[in-house]
Amino acid sequence: MAVTVDSFVNKYKLTLTDFNALELQAYITRYEQISLVELFGVELYDLYVSGIGISDPIYTALRDPFIEQLDSGTILNSRGVDDMITGIVYFYWSRDIETQRSSQGSVKKKAENSESATQWKSNLQSRWNEAINTYCAIQDYVLDNDDLYPEFEGLRKTILPII
C-alpha cells in the first residue's frame, strides 16, 4: 500500500529519528494489513489488494477519498484508505510510545522540564475517531453497493467516546 514513514506529517506529525523510524515502519506493516482485513473481511481484502494492483475502478473507488450522499440522506465522507491507515497507525504508535518496556517491566518516560500530556490533551481520541469515520464511510459505501462487493464481511469499529 502507500502509507510510509514519510506519511506522518501535518495532523499526523510524529517526531522520528533513525532509531524509531524502523519501529514505526513495523507498526505500519502490522496495522495496515490488520486494519484492511477488518475493514473488508478476508475475501474482499484479497480482491481489493489484487484490484488495486491492476487499478480496477471498483477498488480504487474504495481507496481514494470520496464524499457521497446515500438515498437515505446519509453523507459518507472518506478521506481515503491511506489517511485512514495513517490515523490508525498514529493512534497505536502514540498510545504505545507513552510507555517503554524495560527489564523492570513497563515504565513511563519522565522529562526534566516537561510533563506528558494526557491522551485527551494530545488529541489521540480525535485522530482515532477521524480514521474510524473514514473506515465506517468506506464500509457504508460497500454496503450501499453490495452488488459490487458481495464478498464483504468486515468488522464494524466505533469511535471512542469523549471523556
Residues 142, 40 contacting (CB under 8 angstroms): yes
Residue pLDDT, tens place only, 21-79: 999 999 999 999 999 999 999 999 999 999 999 999 999 999 999 999 999 999 999 99
For residue 51, give the C-alpha cell.
Answer: 484490484
What is the predicted pLDDT for the residue at 40?
Answer: 98
Instruction: Please check the confidence at residue 87 and state whether its pLDDT lies above 90.
Output: yes
Q: Collect all residues with Cβ–Cβ distance below 8 Å to 70 and sequence separation of at least 6.
A: 76, 140, 144
Residue 78, judged by CB atoms within 10 A of its CB (0-12, 13-18, 19+), counts as: buried
CA angle 7, 10, 15 (to 5 degrees): 70
Q: Collect all residues with Cβ–Cβ distance below 8 Å to 118 and sequence separation of at least 6.
A: none
What is the predicted pLDDT for the residue at 105?
Answer: 54
Residue pLDDT, tens place only, 102-155: 556 555 555 555 555 544 455 888 999 999 999 999 999 999 999 999 999 999
- The position carrying cell 490488520 is 34
Q: How far is CA 70 from CA 23, 39, 61, 143, 158, in A?
A: 40, 20, 15, 11, 20
What is the predicted pLDDT for the residue at 108?
Answer: 53
What is the predicted pLDDT for the residue at 60?
Answer: 96
- Rounded CA-CA distance 128/147 in Å is 30
SS3 assignment, position 98: coil
What is the predicted pLDDT for the residue at 120?
Answer: 47
pTM of the model: 0.84
DSSP strand E in 79-159: where? 99-102, 105-108
Instruction: Please check the confidence at residue 81 and state whether its pLDDT lies above 90.
Output: yes
Q: How many CB atoms lie within 10 A of CB 66?
A: 16
Q: Is the dihedral of CA 136, 141, 145, 150 positive or negative?
A: negative
